[in-house]
Amino acid sequence: MATLNQRPASSFWLWIWGLAATAALLWPSRISGPFDGVPLDGTAEAILVGAVFPALVWLHPRFLATRLARACIMALLGWKALTMVAFVQDGWCVRFAPAAQIVKDSTGAPHSWDVRADWRAADPTCSAIMTRPYDEFSRFPAWFFNLPPPSESWPSATERPPGAITPMTASGFIHARQPGVLQIVTGPDVAATVSVAGRSVSPDQQRRSAIRVEAGVQKILVETTLTGDRWQLVPLWNGAELLSAQMATVQRPSGFDLAVRPWITWVSGVLVLVLGLAWLVSFIDRIGNADVLAWTVGASACIGLLAATGDGQLGRWAIAGLLAAVFLRIPTRLRNTFGAFALIGIPWLTLIIVVSAPLAGRFTLYDVGSDFWTFQRSAYRIVMQGYWLEGGSQTFWFQPLYRWMAGGLHVIFGDSSVGEAFWDGAWVLVMAMFSFNLTKAVAGFRWGLGAAVMTLTIFALGTAWVHIGRGLSEISSAGLISLAALVALRSRRRSWRLAIAAGVLGTLAFYTRLNNLPMAFAVAVFGLPVRQPVRTLFRPGTWVRRTSWRTVAAVTLTLGLGLLLFAWRTWYYTGVFSVFYGTQRDLLAIWQPGMAAGTVLARMAGSVMMVLTMNDPARFDPFALPLLLGAAISVLAIVGVPRLRELAIAPVVFCLSGLAGSLVARGSAYPGRFSFHVIAVSCAIVTCAAALVRESGVRKAPRRSAASLRATAATGPTIS
């Protein structure tokens, strides 16, 4: 927009400013407010900073070239730096002090996922910073109950609520400009003793009368014992919520701090809102089409309202209705990824946000022994206990990279799992955009939209839905593979950087889910001409010279280097130079020693069908039909069936490579999760095949029409 004084900028500097914007938004401010940085434990900031801003950075980075954007970013960075040196931390210091060690390798109090506290200290003074009331059990910073006890076994009934007995203190200062009444509201399972300026007030005294506090700065200490799970701890001042009144601080504030604090609480919020609103205006201006804007707003509002009712089922069904976008008049400049995102991506993200937002600021007590429980334990060990290379275990019986991802999301979103829901929803959208781009390159924009909507619909209505935000690795790995393939597609006529980036993304996809190694290598197939038909597969003379060998080499070599690094890490900890040592390879292998060939083939077929039906054991599922059709069409294309052999080589080979892993190993538990990596490419293949069949029919239509006209001319029209 001209009003924003946009200037040309290289992609490098846009990335630099994108990183600066991320740092400015996430850097925790000592002055608490609705947009005060990590942890993003408020609903509004979790949505705006944790979901909306990342989407804008990815889809509309050109706004970062404007003077307004850069001024807001620099002002926000400067302001937060100032708060670090000039002001004390808002809130109270919360410390859990269990009588016995509660976490393996812990030397003191357990940590919450709160980087404002002593998150790198072995024995933290504060487990968390209390800047909001704890009005129910899930709002307490007690995520650490998901961790293994010192025995590293499953926790006993007395080591987790409601059986655990856990002492907790909340300490700090309040600044009363005039005398008032302090009240600490507690739940039935919270026994609290309050001390004001060294004067102790028993629970009985609190029940009989509120605590009278004189004007000035007073030290507060709340000592509690937590039992059961009916928890509540809400400080009130004169009957109103105390922590939001900017009266509470962790340390004694200075005179300057006391003088300016009432006037500065709005600074971070205003800067974030100005940046966000200007960015949204620029985004809307870039769309610049009334039909597309009306569709985007209407579809998002409809899906959001439906998702807010009941369990969100109606909103999920509405995702299929996004297919109607193919009938809109879309200007040429929007027939691309940006336009597809506006048409279907924003409504999809609306569904994810509305369904997941209630998780913000609430911790989840995971089921003991589940895979996601294990990932959470490893994430804590990496981030809070400093085992960055070890990653929670010396070998990876459970999948490797996701534990680092989970740790990073908790650093940003705190104890809550809302970040994992946003994360998974974003990767599903990446898969849909890959399906769109692949189909668009072969069959056109509208067919691409259809493939993307099909991908989203399968996730919204099939067995995949329950895994969004669940804390497993499969969606992340599938998203990384789709992104790697998308980057490889775009690297054919560009620099080595994109080709290497595709290889790095494929390597990360493998690290996230080891079963996906064949598909990670198959990313290199997108170095082939995007429309090269399958019928030429065995005639290399027709495609060798047109292939981007730069892409093929970069992807293959980068992934090979990634395998070497992975094996080196295993050797470093175990003395065995291997990629799969210590994993579930032998347990999940299709072939076992002494097994008959017929049994092996039957197990292979069962494993493949589990993937293609998205159910375990395999059964018919209408939402799995695109996967079944995609695999069948790919095989028929390779065999040379007419029409189908005109399909492009790359998606066909990519789809079949996704099934290769299931011929070697068979996963178990959590039905549907072993199918995610083939959903997007299967939808693209089915859509391209439909476009091919339709195109063949259209080509024949004129001949039939001409024959009909000649017959009509000879015999005259038929009147009925």
Q: Which residue among 259, 281, 303 closes a domain?
A: 281
Beta-ladder partners of 93: 129, 171
For the cut 90, the answer to whether the pLDDT of residue 118 exceeds it is: no
Is it the case that residue 226 has pLDDT exceeding 70?
A: yes
Mark whether 35 and 70 lie in a shared domain: yes
DSSP secondary structure, 494-549, as one string: S-HHHHHHHHHHHHHHHHH-GGGHHHHHHGGGGGS-TT-BGGGTT-GGGTTTTS-H
Percentage of the chain lying above the pLDDT 70 cut:
93
| 674 contacts 425 by C-beta, under 8 angstroms | no
Residue 702, pLDDT > 70, answer no
What is the pLDDT averaged over residues 42-48? 95
pLDDT at residue 210 in the model: 76
Predicted local confidence at residue 594, as pLDDT: 85
Q: Judge whether 600 lies within some domain.
A: no
Rounded CA gap, 12 and 186, in Å? 53
For residue 52, pLDDT beyond 50: yes
What is the pLDDT at residue 45? 94
Statement to judge: residues 12 and 44 lie in one domain:
yes
Domain of 138, CATH number, reads 2.60.120
Average pLDDT of the chain, as a whole number: 90
Which residue range is the domain that position 158 belongs to? 92-251
What average pLDDT does the segment 631-657 reach?
95
- Assess if residue 121 is contained within a domain: yes
What tens digit of pLDDT does each residue of 359-378 get? Answer: 999 999 988 888 888 899 89
pLDDT recorded at residue 711: 43
SS3 134: strand
Whether residue 77 sits in one domain with residue 118: no
pLDDT band at 276 (very low <50, low <70, confident <90, very high): very high
Is the residue at 213 inside a domain? Answer: yes
- Residue 705 confidence class, pLDDT cut points 50, 70, 90: very low
**Is residue 67 domain-shared with residue 156, that is, in the same domain?**
no
Q: What per-residue confidence (pLDDT) applies to 577?
A: 96
Q: Do 21 and 61 belong to one domain?
A: yes
pLDDT of 714: 38
Is residue 709 assigned to a domain? no
Considering only 232-246, 332-346, 624-638, which range has the smallest mean pLDDT?
Answer: 232-246
**At which of 281, 301, 331 does a domain end?**
281
pLDDT (average), residues 635-657: 95
With a cut of 90, say whether residue 13 has pLDDT above it. no
Length of the chain: 720
Average the pLDDT over each of 307-316, 481-490, 528-537 and give the range with the smallest value: 307-316
Among the residue ranges 83-87, 183-187, 259-263, 458-462, the one predicted with the least confidence is: 259-263
Q: What is the pLDDT of residue 593?
A: 86
**Do 73 and 106 belong to one domain?**
no
The confidence score (pLDDT) of residue 475 equals 97
List C-alpha distances in Å: 408 to 115, 124, 401: 11, 20, 11
What is the four-CA torsion angle of 202, 206, 207, 211, rounded to 10 degrees? Answer: 160
Q: What is the mean pLDDT of residues 102-114?
A: 81
418 pLDDT above the threshold of 80: yes
pLDDT at 261 over 90: no
Q: Considering only residues 669 and 715, tell me which one the structure prediction assigns the higher pLDDT.
A: 669
What distance in Å separates the CA atoms of residue 675 and residue 659, rounded to the nearest whole number? Answer: 9
Annotate 35-63 with b (16+ C-beta within 10 A) or e (fewer): bbbbbbbbbebbbbbbbbbbbbbebbbbb
Of 491, 470, 555, nearest to 519 by C-alpha is 555
- 96 is a domain residue: yes
What pLDDT score does 135 carry?
94
629 band by pLDDT with thresholds 50, 70 and 90: very high
Domain co-membership, 81 together with 164: no
Q: Could you tell me if 35 and 170 lie in one domain?
A: no
Q: What is the mean pLDDT of residues 47-52?
A: 96
**pLDDT the model gives residue 207:** 64
Pick the residue with more confidence: 5 or 640? Answer: 640
Question: Is the residue at 406 inside a domain?
Answer: no
- pLDDT given at position 556: 97
Domain boundary among 281, 296, 322: 281
Q: Are 428 and 672 in contact (CB under 8 A)?
A: no
**Are residue 59 and residue 138 in the same domain, yes or no?**
no
- Of 272, 172, 163, the C-alpha closest to 222 is 172
Higher pLDDT, 41 or 198: 41
Whether 464 is covered by a domain: the verdict is: no
Segment 305-326 mean pLDDT: 92
Whether residues 206 and 104 share a domain: the answer is yes
Q: Same domain, yes or no, for 26 and 112?
A: no
The token pair that represents 55 in the structure block: 């989407």
9/54 same-domain check: yes
pLDDT in the model for residue 310: 76
Whether residue 109 lies inside any domain: the answer is yes
Percent of the chain with pLDDT over 90: 72
Residue 98 confidence (pLDDT): 78
Is residue 134 pLDDT above 60, yes or no?
Answer: yes
**How many domains are contained in the chain?**
2
pLDDT band at 208 (very low <50, low <70, confident <90, very high): low
